[in-house]
Chains A and B, each alone.
Chain A
Amino acid sequence: MKPNRENRSLIFLTVVAAILLSLIPLPEVLEPFKPYWVALVVIYWSLETQGTISLGLAFLFGIILDIFSGSLMGLHALSLVVMVFLVQHFRPRLRFFPPWQQALSVLGLLVNDRIILIWITALLGEPIPTWKYWLPPLIGMILWPWLFLLLDRIRAMSRQHKS
């Protein structure tokens, strides 16, 4: 599949939706379970389309997320760039995994990302977070197959709409 324009606007829309989703306040009990929405959406797009999400675009998304979430500037940018790089690197293999295996790889990616983040926060001298810190990757893994189906559906619908 060649990188084309019909995907571009759809990618931006879904990423913006993911950023909004991650900003919406949840009840205190649910807050630690909030998955890394933007990462999931970015993984989907770089897995399913080739070359549409470049490292630069991932960096840009990360910066936007940093601005909105008030985190250290560049933190999410770094995390998303590394994520996209890894997906691009293993793409030929990941694409043909059965769903459960793909979900496991997503778990791996998200856990790896959390390790990078914990590294940075440790360098900044902030305390090591509690076990709740490791919940979002698990939730991300559980949500992955459903999100995958949903985004596939949205993409098919938009393609039909276009033609």
Chain B
Amino acid sequence: MQVHDKNLAHRESSGPGRWFGEEGTRTARLMIYILLSIVLMFMDQLGQYVPRIRGAMELAFEPVFHVVGWPADALQALEQRTRDRNDLIAENEQLLQQMLKISGSVQTQAALLQENQRLRDLLGATRGRPYLFQFAEMKKVSLDPFSHKVWINAGVKEGVVVGQAVIDGLGIIGQVEDVHRHFSTVRLISDPDHALPVQINRTGLRTVAYGSGETSHLLMPNVPLQADVSPGDVIVTSGLGDRFPPGFPVGEVERVERDSGETFATVYMRPFAALDRGREVLLIDPQAGLKSDLESLPVEQP
């Protein structure tokens, strides 16, 4: 009893324990840390200071991301090395055929392009913009499950800028969000925070496609009830908003939900791009297209 008392007296005589007791101190510390993290989260969400600090930290820790990517890279290398020769021959054959087919269509396209240009000249319209593509490889480091982001191995050194559109061979993948020295993060179109201005190719109806949080489909919640949309319609980018160049394929309408109680129909779209599987991506550089456009434009400023 006496020992206990002495212990208590000792504990109470020093530190903050004097007022709250040991348990109380711990609770108070917990509260302080919780408050601190809430303040941090707020600042990060509002974009004050924290994102800049985070950018610097990410730069400092860049090697770690490379190290973390090794197992996946090694697995892939192993897979490539152990592939069957017959498989390779078959794939080669297939690629050759594909290339022939594509080069055929490119030939007709060249003629079309020329014709288009002539018509544009006749109309006195601006020239069509050529796009420059840049190759990059996805380094898929898994991140926050709530946001769909991937990392690609091109950064400031390679001339990547924030907001650049990223595509793969099939369609739009996303846009560049952060640029570091040798890598950048890309927000996928399936991210719940991502909105993509699109157009239905068949009818020309403009709307916005939002990410659903799942790579299997996007949502278009603002389509009028009586709009002419049906499954199978191809969706392309509309080019509004100046982020994504117009005319790039995005996906295909999967199903349309028309509830007469609602103001709008909800359209589900299946994206063409291999959002969860692809590895090689292309970065579109609309600025380069714009620059050459401006240079070639005759001087006719108002």
A: residues with CB less than 8 A from B are: 20, 23-26, 28, 31-32, 34, 55-56, 58-59, 62-63, 67-75, 77-78, 81-82, 85, 88-89, 120-121, 124, 126-127, 129-130, 133
Contact = CB atoms under 8 A, between A and B. Distances in A.
B170 interface: no
Contacts of A56: 29, 33
Nearest to B193: A126
Nearest to A132: B145
Most chain B CB neighbours (cut-off 10 Å) among A31, A55, A58, A72: A72
A70 B144 CA distance: 6
B33 A81 contact: yes
Contacts of B38: 74, 78
Interface in B1-51: 26, 29-30, 33-34, 36-41, 43-45, 50
B68 interface: yes
Interface string B35-79: 011111101110000100010011001001101110110000000
Nearest to B56: A67
A69 B61 CA distance: 12
Most chain B CB neighbours (cut-off 10 Å) among A56, A77, A88: A77
A4 B297 CA distance: 74
A72 B141 CA distance: 16
B140 A25 contact: yes
Contacts of B30: 55, 81-82, 85
A73 B33 contact: no
A118 to B, nearest CB: 10
A126 B34 contact: no
A127 B145 CA distance: 12
Contacts of A20: 64, 67-68
Contact of A24 (B72, B185, B212): B72
B143 interface: yes
B143 A73 contact: no
Contacts of B142: 23-26, 31, 34
Contacts of B58: 67
B33 A71 contact: no
A73 B44 contact: yes
Task: Indicate the size class of the contact surface on chain B.
Answer: 35 or more
Contacts of A129: 145-146, 213
Given A24-B68, A74-B41, A127-B192, 7 more contacts: A71-B146, A75-B37, A82-B30, A85-B26, A88-B26, A89-B26, A124-B45
A24 B45 contact: no
A9 B143 CA distance: 27
- The 8 A-B residue pairs with the shortest CB-CB distance in the complex, in nearest-first order: A74-B40, A74-B37, A78-B37, A73-B44, A71-B144, A74-B41, A70-B143, A23-B68
A69 B145 CA distance: 10
A72 B145 CA distance: 11
Contacts of A120: 41
A89 to B, nearest CB: 8
A70 B69 contact: no
Contacts of B276: 28
22 contacts: A25-B72, A26-B142, A31-B142, A59-B33, A63-B40, A67-B61, A70-B143, A70-B147, A71-B144, A73-B40, A73-B41, A73-B44, A73-B50, A74-B39, A78-B33, A81-B33, A81-B37, A82-B30, A85-B26, A126-B193, A127-B213, A129-B146
Contacts of B217: none
A55 B36 CA distance: 12
A77 B149 contact: no
Contact of A69 (B29, B44, B143): B143
Contact of A81 (B34, B39, B45, B50): B34
B3 to A, nearest CB: 20
Contacts of B83: none
A127 B191 CA distance: 10
A121 B41 CA distance: 11
A25 B61 contact: no
Contact of A82 (B34, B43, B64): B34
B157 interface: no
Interface in B236-262: none
Given A24-B71, A121-B146, A129-B145, A70 B37 contact: no
B213 A55 contact: no
